[in-house]
Amino acid sequence: MLVNRTYYSELAKNVGKDADRSYFTDALQKASWLVHALDQRAHTILKVATEIVRQQDGFFIHGVTHLRPLNLKAIADAIQMHESTVSRVTANKYMATNRGTFELRYFFTASIASADGGEPHSAEAVRHRIKQLIDSEEPSAILSDDAIVERLCGSGIDIARRTVAKYREAMRIPSSVQRRRDNEWRGQRLSVEHRAELAVREELPSR
């Protein structure tokens, strides 16, 4: 956004009254202040976004499984700004990336301890891992929350069963009992459809 000072100068030439001249001067000052404020805001957003990209480079290179735990304070300290400023500029702002468009707040994720004492894991990466495990489960071997905990612990993620349940429910994934019932229902439905198809074939005259 820019202030058209040429247009202002043309208008100011035709202003005769002191009150009108004062009004135009005040309007110019307000417009200039707005432009400066918007420029500062854009600069701050760019600075915050750049630091997010720097600290979450693993995500941009390898994907969600490489997200790191990150909070507002870490970004604020890195760019020498107040935490409340970082909070304001990341609210309702989005970043277009080669992996899709994400809200800036997406990159701020809680920390989950490592089972072997190594680097902590990002909560978002753990949620993604839970979804992967459930998506790849066999219909005959549905994973309970306890089984998921065991798998995650085997991958070096120290997580409680209630946390797994919380993340699963937040992703609107049914419990293992419900998933098992759903699979049984789908199996029965496919069986009925298959029998119906065979019956139709038997009734058709052979050529």
pLDDT digits (tens, 9 = 90+) for 40-79: 999 999 999 999 999 999 999 999 999 999 999 999 999 9
- Residue 84 contacts residue 137 (beta carbons within 8 Å): no
Q: How far apart are CA 164 and CA 10, in angstroms?
A: 67
CB atoms under 10 Å from CB of 68, counted, come to 19
Q: Is 17 helix (H, G, I), strand (E, B) or coil?
A: coil
Cα–Cα distances in angstroms (integers) from residue 73 to residues 1, 69, 140, in the given order: 31, 12, 46
Q: How far apart are CA 153 and CA 32, in angstroms?
A: 58
Q: What is the mean pLDDT of the chain?
A: 87
Which CB contacts under 8 angstroms, 24+ apart, belong to 51-58?
51/75, 51/78, 51/79, 52/95, 52/104, 52/107, 56/107
For 82-108, the pLDDT digits (tens) are 999 999 999 999 999 999 999 999 999
- Residue 41 contacts residue 93 (beta carbons within 8 Å): no
The residues near 93 (Cβ < 8 Å, ≥ 6 apart) are 45, 49, 103, 104
- Residue 179 contacts residue 187 (beta carbons within 8 Å): no
Q: How far apart are CA 162 and CA 174, in angstroms?
A: 14
For 7-36, the pLDDT digits (tens) are 667 666 676 666 666 777 787 788 888 888
Residue 153 has pLDDT above 90, yes or no: yes
Q: Is 109 helix (H, G, I), strand (E, B) or coil?
A: strand
| Mean pLDDT within 171-183 | 92
> Residue 158: which pLDDT band, with cuts at 50, 70 and 90?
very high
